[in-house]
């Protein structure tokens, strides 16, 4: 088995154990934790879906996007536009519309973006995202800088998403479903072609592969999955604003992927949980000698990410794999 295939497709036993223990912890958490902390964990799971969608581009295909949050925020806005002020709207048609809408936007933008490479790809994705950001930020019809409130969670008929515990388990089901879908994608011909593009796109072209089509497909699927996360975010928080589409949101997703470890989606999930935990930890740091440490949480987070890149380039999962005694750690 090649190193690339082992890295992308086969999870070491230590990481499999961590994932199973994590799943059991998530299943039990609403029964042992407070409602407040359960909502925090729901938010972490939503961001884990968002991070996995970016990992499809960054870790699998080798495309670093600084505009991925545009599709995340767009789906949240679509839910806000579809929800009337006085009553909930059906989950079963608004969720597909939001996901397909985000995917369509990604396909249109990707048609132009994936023709570029390297630093040009990074800059063009950021440029398109900023265009979308200011479209909503400067337009009062679309909510402007104040954003839009979503008064009701979507109506699922079969279960009540207004119940925080029900929403928690629905989010968990989405997280598991997205992870299984993406892991299956890695084993498919599409996933192996994307892996080949990441390793050597010129060789893939020489072998007869249309790399443009494969990259556009990855870009579209990643945008649609980011839309799923954005829809859940809007449903949970009841509020969307242009900041969801901003550069900082995309940068946070990149840091989640780097922190957990790129290329197998498990790392993106772990990175999202670690990033959000560290975010709250650093924000709650005390004031020492008149210096408000919590106010400068970006400094501590940035320093931590730098240390991870230097000492653990394969992220948190790489450390687990190393200390777990796996041979390819």
pTM listed for this prediction: 0.92
Sorted by sequence, the CB contacts under 8 Å of residue 82 that are 6+ apart come out as: 89, 94, 97, 98
Could you give the domains of the chain? Answer: 3-323 (1.10.3470)
> Are the C-beta atoms of residues 59 and 263 closer than 8 Å to each other?
yes
Q: pLDDT value at position 289?
A: 79
pLDDT tens digit string along 237-278? 999 999 999 888 999 999 999 999 888 899 999 999 999 999
CB 18 within 8 A of CB 194: no
pLDDT digits 0-9 by tens, 8-57: 456 788 888 889 999 999 999 999 988 889 999 999 999 999 999 999 99
Per-residue pLDDT of 79-116, as tens digits, reads: 999 999 888 999 999 999 999 999 999 999 999 999 99
Question: Residue 105 and residue 128: Cα distance in Å, rounded?
Answer: 11
CA 13 to chain centre: 24
Region at 325 (left for phi over 0; alpha for psi -120 to 50; beta for the rest): left
Residue 82's pLDDT is 95
Give the per-residue pLDDT at 70: 95
CA geometry: angle at 204 spanning 198 and 207, to 5°? 165
Q: Residue 329: is its pLDDT beyond 70?
A: no
pLDDT 10s digits, 182-192: 999 988 999 99
Average pLDDT, the chain: 90
Position 264 scores a pLDDT of 81
């Amino acid at each position: 088995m090649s190193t690339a295939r082992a890295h992308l497709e086969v999870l070491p036993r230590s990481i499999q154990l961590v994932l199973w223990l994590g799943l059991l912890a998530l299943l039990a958490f609403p029964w042992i934790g407070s409602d407040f902390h359960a909502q925090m964990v729901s938010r972490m799971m939503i961001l884990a879906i968002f991070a996995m969608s970016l990992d499809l581009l960054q870790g699998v295909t080798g495309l670093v996007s600084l505009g991925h949050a545009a599709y995340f925020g767009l789906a949240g806005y679509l839910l806000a536009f579809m929800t009337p002020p006085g009553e909930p709207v059906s989950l079963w048609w608004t969720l597909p519309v939001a996901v397909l809408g985000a995917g369509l936007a990604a396909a249109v933008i990707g048609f132009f973006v994936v023709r570029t490479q390297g630093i040009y790809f990074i800059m063009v994705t950021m440029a398109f995202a900023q265009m979308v950001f200011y479209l909503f930020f400067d337009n009062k019809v679309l909510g402007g800088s104040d954003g839009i409130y979503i008064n009701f969670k979507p109506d699922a008929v079969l279960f009540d998403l207004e119940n925080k515990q029900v929403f928690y388990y629905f989010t968990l089901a989405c997280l598991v479903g997205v992870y299984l879908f993406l892991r299956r994608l890695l084993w498919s011909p599409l996933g192996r072609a994307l892996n080949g593009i990441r390793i050597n796109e010129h060789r893939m072209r020489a072998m007869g592969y249309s790399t443009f089509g494969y990259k556009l497909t990855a870009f579209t699927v990643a945008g649609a999955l980011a839309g799923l996360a954005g829809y859940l975010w809007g449903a949970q928080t009841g509020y969307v604003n242009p900041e969801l589409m901003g550069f900082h949101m995309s940068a946070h997703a990149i840091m989640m992927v780097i922190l957990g470890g790129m290329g197998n989606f498990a790392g993106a999930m772990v990175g999202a949980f670690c990033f959000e935990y560290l975010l709250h930890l650093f924000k709650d740091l005390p004031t020492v000698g008149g210096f408000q440490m919590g106010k400068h949480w970006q400094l501590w987070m940035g320093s931590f990410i730098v240390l991870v890149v230097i000492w653990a380039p394969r992220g948190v999962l790489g450390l687990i794999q190393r200390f777990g005694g796996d041979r390819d750690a």
